[in-house]
Amino acid sequence: MVSTRGHPNDFHEPDLTPSKSTPSRQSRSNGKWAHTPSNITIAWLLISLPLVAWDTGYVLLRPHSMPGGYLHWLWAPYELYGRVDYIYGWKAFNSRNGFTGAQGSLNVVESLMYAYYLYILYTSGKQVAARGRGAPKTAIAGFWGEQRRVEGTNGVLAVLVGYSAALMTFSKTVLYWLSEYFSGFDNIGHNSLLDLIFLWIIPNGAWLVGSGYIMYVTGIEIMQGLTIAAGGSTTSSDDTSMVKFE
- Residues 81 and 62: their CA atoms lie apart, in Å, by 14
Rounded-to-integer distance, Cα 228 and Cα 233, Å: 6
pTM: 0.77
> Strand (E) positions, the chain?
34-35, 126-129, 146-151, 233-236, 241-244
- What pLDDT, on a 0 to 100 scale, did the predictor assign at position 14? 43
What is the per-residue pLDDT for 188?
97
The whole-number pLDDT of residue 3 equals 45
* Longest alpha-carbon distance in the chain: 110
Helix and strand counts by DSSP (H, E) for the chain? 9, 5
Residue 203 is which amino acid?
A: P
Q: Give the model's pLDDT for residue 31.
A: 54
Nearest residue to 174 (alpha-carbon basis) of 130, 141, 207, 125 = 207
pLDDT at residue 218 in the model:
95
| DSSP 3-state of 18 | coil
- pLDDT tens series, the chain, 246 aa: 444 444 445 544 444 444 443 333 333 345 578 898 888 999 999 999 999 999 999 999 999 999 999 999 999 999 999 999 999 999 999 999 999 999 999 999 999 999 999 999 989 878 766 554 444 443 333 344 467 788 889 999 999 999 999 999 999 999 999 999 999 999 999 999 999 999 999 999 999 999 999 999 999 999 988 888 887 655 544 444 443 333
192 membership: H or E segment, kind and range: none
Q: At what angle do helices 39-60 and 99-124 cross, to 10 degrees?
A: 140
- For residue 146, the model assigns a pLDDT of 60
Which of helix, strand or coil describes residue 79?
helix
Q: At 136, phi and psi to the nearest 5? A: -65, 145
- Residue 149 phi/psi, 5-degree rounding, is -120, 120
Report the alpha-carbon distance of residue 130 to residue 184 in Å, rounded. Answer: 47
